[in-house]
Every structure is written in structure tokens, then in C-alpha cells.
Amino acid sequence: MAGKERRSETSSRSEMQTLLRKRVRIRERAVVALNDTIFAAWIGRHLRRLGWGVHLARSAAQARQLTAEFSPRVVVLDTQLPDETGWLTCEKMIHHDPTVKVVLVASEPELGAKAFAQFVGAAVLIRQEEGTQAVIDEIVSQTEIVAQ
């Protein structure tokens, strides 16, 4: 009986260590909600390579739900999501959790968009044509600012 208990205890410790390792590896979390699923997948892939936990959303409602559930450090939002604008979603998220950093991504540049992004509480507005690396660089920059 003692041998079974030791194996069970060793097994439990091993499972706990595995869980802790997974948690340690995932330093930060991000929610990504973009209309362009390929662009979203590339951003997710880059962040995962950096050790982030990434949750992809297909709508503003799903992005808000994932944000409430996982408390990510950063949320990447398209300015035009299927169910509501990223501008409104950003404002709702910031109202709910002022510590979350929202990176808005615009597929088409709009006059006054940067000023409006600041108005709704976004950390930054990036044009999609700037590419995935610009989004990743901004996410890393925003998390370094918060860590200091």
C-alpha cells in the first residue's frame, strides 16, 4: 500500500511540476480579434514563439469574454469587427479593466484615427499594412512600459 501511495504522490508532484512549467513558460497573455484571420494567426504565432499565451477571437463579444476570463496584458483589436467597432470594444474593455493595453489595428487609414484611438483609451493605433512585426514590436513595447 505504501508503494502505491508513493507512486501516487510522485505522480501528483510530476503533474504539478508540469503545470508550473507551463505557467512559467507563458509569461503573458494576449487576446487577438482581427477580421483578417491570416494576419491574426501570424500575430498569434509570433507571440507564442515569444512565450505568450494567445487567445484568438472572431468577434468583439468573444474578445470581451476572453478578456474577462483570462485577464490578458494586451488585446489586439481590428477597428472594424463583425459585431461592433473595435473603437467601441476598446472603450468597453478599458472601462472594465483600465490596466489592459489595447492595440487597435486599422486596415484602412482614417482621418483623425490616432486621436480617436487615444480618446477611447487605446495604447496605440497601427495600420495593418505596417505588418505583423510592427504589431509585435508595439505589444512588446507596451508590456515593457507596464513592467517598469
Mean pLDDT of 87-113: 92
Better-scored residue on pLDDT, 141 or 21: 141
Q: Residue 108 above 50 pLDDT? A: yes
- What are the residue boundaries of the structural domains of the chain, listed by start? 27-147
What pTM does this model have? 0.79
- 75-93 pLDDT per residue, tens: 999 999 999 999 999 999 9
Q: What is the DSSP string of 91-128?
A: HHHHHH-TT-EEEEEESS--TTHHHHHHHHT-SEEEEG
What is residue 141's predicted lDDT score, i.e. its pLDDT?
Answer: 87
> Among the residues of the chain, which ranges form H helices?
2-25, 37-49, 60-70, 86-96, 113-120, 132-147
Check whether 15 has a pLDDT greater than 90: no
CATH number given to 27-147: 3.40.50.2300
Give SS3 for 52.
Answer: coil
User: What is the average pLDDT value for the chain, to the nearest integer?
Assistant: 85
- What's the start-to-end Cα distance of the chain, in Å? 52
pLDDT of residue 148: 44
> What is the pLDDT at residue 27?
74
Check pLDDT > 60 for residue 1.
Answer: no
* Interval 22-77: pLDDT, tens: 554 447 899 999 999 999 999 999 999 999 999 999 999 999 999 999 999 999 99
Percent of the chain with pLDDT over 70: 80
pLDDT over 80 (residue 126): yes
Distance between CA atoms of 139 and 8, rounded to whole angstroms? 42
